[in-house]
Amino acid sequence: MEKTICLLPGDGIGPEILDQGALVMDAAVKKNGHTFHYTKGLIGGAAIDATGSSLPEETIAACKASDAVFLAAVGGPKWDNLAPEKRPERGLLAIRRELGLFANLRPAMLLPELAGACLLRPDIAQKGLDLIVVRELTGDIYFGEPRGLEKQDGSRVGFNTMIYSEEEIVRIAHVAFKTARQRRRKVCSVDKSNVLETSRLWKEVVTEVHKEYADVELSHLYVDNAAMQLVRDPSQFDVILTGNIFGDILSDEASVITGSLGMLPSASMGAQGPGLFEPVHGSAPDIAGQDKANPLATILSAAMLLRLGLHMPEEAAMIEKAVDKTLADGYRTGDIMEAGKKAVGCQEMGKLVVERL
């Protein structure tokens, strides 16, 4: 098979972790006789510095011409004082919109090898944590109009619009129910329907779509309760289905309680065209360029790219197994270091995974 992957290194530790992700991916597919071609695009702060825009037209074109987009991370203190519409993050939102990536899949789990890192009480952690947040990614208050910051009667007001159409809810609900069918067949839909009309529609539509999935169990939680349940007993969750803003918050919560944010991959998919695959963590500017970053979330994002983006489950599993083996052999980057383990840098970690493919 021949495929073209568009690489978007972004900012901070982005370039170094993406190098390792691409190396591992390339080694895995070569082993099975496939040839991948790579293009590169600027996004985020790096793009702002070079072109003035956080998502240049050339990057959009390169992404659209590819079979999958492999992104590392955007943002950093250098651009923190820019207005929201000029910030690196805007590039990320724009590429999601441009590629129609409405479904964001964010798994969070406790890897047996790293169970000690979990931030929860041992008796809670022991019950297990293996869930996936299915977050709607191109609607909600993130994109709703009108939005603005202006003066009204001499006083400043800021406003955004929380809005979902029936169609937007239907398509993400299907993704969640189908995802559940590959797992433990449980979907918990999260909303704030005790207060918000948007959420009332959300709950109604999800309930309607569920009629096509009688084999999947559906429950509903208000977002405040869901945030609480996630730390009280995350083992109750399989698939969490929610909108853009609630999903942003809950997916950070779900991933950080595992204690190994540096391990978690994500996928963003549209109805057709290339998907985008990236680690859940950010650009960690404090350790950028020091070969200290953990490349494993990026390497595992390569596995998601292969499985979900290119339907290459065998190569995806090769990468996941090689990562497990590397951890089992005791290698750790600083963020997941424990007494008695072997400390390695970013490049070394990538190399160790390649050797175990």
Residue 150 tokens, joined? 């202006």
Side chain identity at 256, as an amino acid letter? V
Q: How far apart are CA 19 and CA 302, in angstroms?
A: 11
Residue 253 binds ligand IPM, judged by CB under 6 A? no
Tell me the DSSP string of 6-61.
EEEEESTTHHHHHHHHHHHHHHHHHHTT-EEEEEE---THHHHHHHSSSS-HHHHH
CB under 5 to 8 A by kind: which of ligand IPM, Mg ion, none does 89 bind? ligand IPM
Q: What is the DSSP letter of 243?
A: -
Give the closest residue to 23 by CA, choosing from 2, 44, 46, 7: 7
| Residues 246-265 interacting with Mg ion (rule: CB under 5 A) | 248
Active site residue 192: yes
Active site residue 11: no
When the beta carbons of 264 and 353 are compared against ligand IPM, the nearer one is: 264
Helix (H) or strand (E) holding 319: helix 313-328
How many residues touch ligand IPM (CB under 6 A)? 4
Residue 136 binds Mg ion, judged by CB under 5 A? no
Interhelix angle for 346-355 vs 313-328, to 10°? 120
How many residues touch Mg ion (CB under 5 A)? 1
- Helix and strand numbers (H, E) in the chain are 12, 14
CB under 5 to 8 A by kind: which of ligand IPM, Mg ion, none does 320 bind? none
Residue 93 binds ligand IPM, judged by CB under 6 A? yes
The distance of closest approach from Cβ of residue 140 to Mg ion in the complex, given in angstroms and rounded to an integer, is 13
Active site residue 224: yes
Catalytic residue from among 11, 19, 164, 192: 192
Residue 63 binds ligand IPM, judged by CB under 6 A? no
Are 341 and 328 contacting, i.e. CB atoms less than 8 angstroms apart?
Answer: no
Catalytic residue from among 67, 238, 248, 335: 248
Residue 352 binds ligand IPM, judged by CB under 6 A? no
Active site residue 191: no
When the beta carbons of 89 and 291 are compared against ligand IPM, the nearer one is: 89
CA atoms within 13 A on the CB side of 136: 31
Give the closest residue to 118 by CA, choosing from 246, 254, 252, 292: 254
CB under 5 to 8 A by kind: which of Mg ion, ligand IPM, none does 92 bind? ligand IPM
Give the closest residue to 218 by CA, choosing from 176, 169, 171: 176
Give the closest residue to 55 by CA, choosing from 111, 25, 99: 99
The distance of closest approach from Cβ of residue 295 to ligand IPM in the complex, given in angstroms and rounded to an integer, is 19
The distance of closest approach from Cβ of residue 252 to Mg ion in the complex, given in angstroms and rounded to an integer, is 5
The distance of closest approach from Cβ of residue 262 to Mg ion in the complex, given in angstroms and rounded to an integer, is 15
The distance of closest approach from Cβ of residue 267 to ligand IPM in the complex, given in angstroms and rounded to an integer, is 12
Could you say which of 248, 315, 320, 335 contacts ligand IPM (CB under 6 A)? 248
3 state SS of 240: strand
Q: How far apart are CA 274 and CA 264, in angstroms?
A: 21
Residue 113 binds Mg ion, judged by CB under 5 A? no
Residue 168 binds ligand IPM, judged by CB under 6 A? no
Residue 106 tokens, joined? 């964010």
Residue 92 binds ligand IPM, judged by CB under 6 A? yes
When the beta carbons of 191 and 248 are compared against ligand IPM, the nearer one is: 248
- Interface residues toward Mg ion, by CB under 5 A: 248
Residues known to be catalytic: 142, 192, 224, 248, 252
- Interface residues toward ligand IPM, by CB under 6 A: 89, 92-93, 248
